[in-house]
Amino acid sequence: MLTNNATTCSDSFIEREIKDSYNVPGPKPQHHLSRSEVKEYFKTRFTTLFPTKTVLKENYKKYPSNPFPALACMNCQHVQFFIVGLLAWTWDALDFFAVSLNMAEIAEDLDKPIKDITHAITLVLLLRVVGAVIFGYIGDRFGRKVPYCISMALIVVIQIATGFVKTFPAFLGCRAVFGIVMGSIFGVASATSLENAPDEAKSILSGIFQEGYALGYLLGVVFKRAIVDNSSHGWRSFFWFSAGPPVLFIVWRMLLPESKAFTDRKVLATATELTDDQKVSISKPSDRFWSNARAAVAQHWITLLYLVLLMAMFNFSSHGSQDLFPTMLSKQYNYSEDASTVTNSVANIGALVGGIVVAHASTFIGRRCAIFLCCLGGGALLYPWGFVSNPRGLNPAVFFLQFFVQGAWGVVPIHLTELSPVEFRAFVTGVAYQLGNMISSASSTIEATIGERFPIDGKEGVYDYGKVMCIFMGCVFAGLLVTTVLGPENKGGEVVVDGRILDARGSLERHNDDIEDLDRRQSLDSRSAFKPNFEYVARVNATSNHASV
């Protein structure tokens, strides 16, 4: 069920709910919805896209217009958890963009065309899902600290090794391993940063966290200009430098305790003992985890598939607008290193501002509405972004285009969190994000290949990347708009199995904050007017102790 009640749950509540729901009529699973229910759902996609005046008034009363005072609700540990997660995600992005920012230099050094170097980007995106699955399981099973430290340590080793490669196959091999490790970071980092934060600050923190991606790109631009262009080792020096800071991140994370939200769920798991006839026939914790995972997939599989499709469209938007942009500036427009650095910096400043502003705006207007408006704004800026070569015209265009692209992205962490089953948050957010990455992995290769069909007269080996990126992004904005409009929203809530367990869970947590819990429950009706309330549970065969559909 998608519920507005922001509560916590134990790592075994799914199996408890399944056991308690034997022979009890419950809401239908997603794939058992009738034709009339499906029709009603799609009808409400348009009627609930924009908030009503009543909802807007309530949101303006409930949430501050200025988002930053909400950060005062965070204590020192909240701040440290957020920063350490943000740093991992930021450096993850910097390491990824190490190839696209140095593509021309790498191609020349390894004696390969630019199109071949883009295969390294594709390879990273394809393999990220492997890391997301492995480390997502570790993160939800054993906690956030262990996978965080392992991922950062592996990044250090791989980046150093990449700087020493002499052949193109060796380069691809290093990037393949990097792709697996990179896939492990988003889910664990986002859970570390956001799951412990106060509800009042989560929207603005979501925007800031997601813009760690843009910040990583911006830092990459700056460090390339400062290091690569002034080092005799060229692009290799960038990789060696990028291996240093993660060591500090590991030390900081080791000094922090395990995620409080994770440990609270572990404590809650043992707070209520099952009677002998209620115990689930699973003895090993790992077996219990995968049994719960199967139940969650059986119950929420349509939503999970939707998240993958949504993340594919989002990743097309970011890679389609960023991966070949530095190449366009240097090859097609002949920008100097300084001019290219300025334009790329302007783009990423726009991305940083957009992510924070739009994420906070989504608190008032809703997640889908915010993404919808960003698609319209980004589409309107495609022509000046793709066809204006003068910096005075291009810089404002690229600022606002990235404002809308990354502004929509700023909603993603909190939107994914709200639509993901709480017991598998690191796993679901990481895997959905990386599967979307895998689907969009060929973005730069597609653009580079199509670009070769649009050579610029009089310039051998130079192609009209601006035109290709403009066409590509037009299709992406249209696809993202449709996907968002037709999708679900669970603003301010969490995904649980059945509402019948809310009272029990609420009573267990009410000693922590009675007023906050009561406030969340009293606001349920008004927030339900903003979006449909989905309820679906797996039917249970009482003789098998397994969820069936």
Quick one: pLDDT at residue 348?
87
d(CA 412, CA 482): 16
CATH class of 68-256+294-488: mainly alpha
DSSP letters for 193-205: HHTTS-GGGHHHH
Give the model's confidence band at 282: pLDDT under 50 very low, under 70 low, under 90 confident, else very high.
very low
Decide if pLDDT at 275 tops 60: no
Q: Give the three-class secondary structure for 455.
A: strand
Per-residue pLDDT at 309: 93
pLDDT single digits (tens) 349-364:
998 899 888 988 888 8
* Average pLDDT along the chain: 77
Residue 534 has pLDDT above 50, yes or no: no
Nearest Cα to Cα of residue 99 among 163, 154, 153: 163
Extract the tokens encoding 173.
Answer: 């091999």
What pLDDT score was predicted for residue 516? 40
Task: Provide the percentage of residues in the chain whose pLDDT is more than 70.
Answer: 77
pLDDT digits (tens, 9 = 90+) for 333-350: 888 888 988 998 899 899
Note the pLDDT of residue 177.
93
Compute CA distances 35 → 40, 288, 549, whole Å. 9, 35, 18
Does residue 395 have a pLDDT over 80? yes
Confidence tier at 477 by pLDDT (50, 70, 90) = very high
Integer Cα distance of 104 and 356 in angstroms: 32
Cα–Cα distance list, 516 to 57, 194, 200, 259, 501 (Å): 20, 18, 11, 21, 19
CA distance 395 to 388: 9
Tokens at 353, concatenated: 């501002």
For residues 428-456, give the mean pLDDT: 81
- pLDDT for 12 equals 36
- Rounded Cα distance between 491 and 409, Å, is 16
Is 368 within 8 Å of 230 (Cβ atoms)? no
Please report, for the chain, how many H helices and E strands are present, in that order. 27, 4
b (16+ CB within 10 A) / e for 283-292: eeeeebbebb
Where exactly are the structural domains of the chain? 2-48+495-543, 68-256+294-488
Closest CA to 335 of 346, 327, 345: 327
The answer to whether residues 347 and 354 touch, using CB atoms and an 8 Å cutoff, is: no
Confidence check: pLDDT of 84 > 80: yes
- What was the pLDDT predicted at 525? 36
Report the 10 Å Cβ neighbour count for 478.
Answer: 13
Whether pLDDT at 520 is above 50: no
Q: What percent of the chain has pLDDT above 90?
A: 26
Position 306 pLDDT exceeds 50: yes
Residues 6+ apart with CB under 8 A from 481: 371, 372, 375, 376
Predicted confidence at residue 7, as pLDDT, reads: 36
**Residue 503's CB: how many other CB atoms inside 10 A?**
11
Predicted structure pTM score: 0.70
Cβ atoms of 17 and 500 within 8 Å: the answer is: yes
Q: What is the Cα–Cα distance from 108 to 114, expressed in whole angstroms?
A: 9
Quickly state the pLDDT bin for 80 (edges 50, 70, 90).
very high
The encoded tokens of residue 151 equal 């991922």
What average pLDDT score do residues 433-454 get? 82
| pLDDT score of 518 | 36
Backbone angles phi, psi at 144, to 5 degrees: -90, -25
Closest by CA position to 100, among listed 405, 400, 331:
331
Cα-Cα-Cα-Cα dihedral sign, residues 346, 358, 191, 302: negative
Maximum mean pLDDT: which of 206-210, 342-346, 427-431, 540-544: 342-346
pLDDT digits (tens, 9 = 90+) for 11-41: 333 334 333 433 334 445 666 677 888 888 8
DSSP one-letter code for 485: H
Burial 432-452 (b: 16+ CB within 10 A, else e): bbbbbbbbbbbbbbbbbebbe
Phi, psi of 498 (to 5 degrees): -155, 135
Cα separation of 18 and 364, whole Å? Answer: 36
pLDDT at residue 296, as a whole number:
66
Give CA separation, 86 vs 71, 419, 469, in Å: 15, 21, 29
Q: Average the pLDDT over 132-156 and give the result.
A: 87
CA distance 193 to 478: 31
CA–CA gap between residue 487 and residue 306 (Å, rounded):
7
Look at residue 505 and tell me whether its pLDDT is greater than 60: no
pLDDT value, residue 396: 95
Say what the pLDDT of residue 270 is. Answer: 55
Lowest-confidence region among 66-80, 294-308, 328-342, 352-366:
294-308
Residues making up the chain, counted from first to last: 549
Of 220, 196, 193, whose CA–CA distance to 208 is shortest? 193
Q: 């797996």: which residue's tokens? A: 538
- Give the pLDDT mean for 154-176: 93
Higher pLDDT, 297 or 389: 389
Q: Which of 93-97, 282-286, 351-355, 442-446 has the lowest mean pLDDT?
A: 282-286
DSSP classification of residue 274:
P
Confidence of residue 95 (pLDDT cuts 50, 70, 90): very high
Predicted pLDDT of residue 70? 73
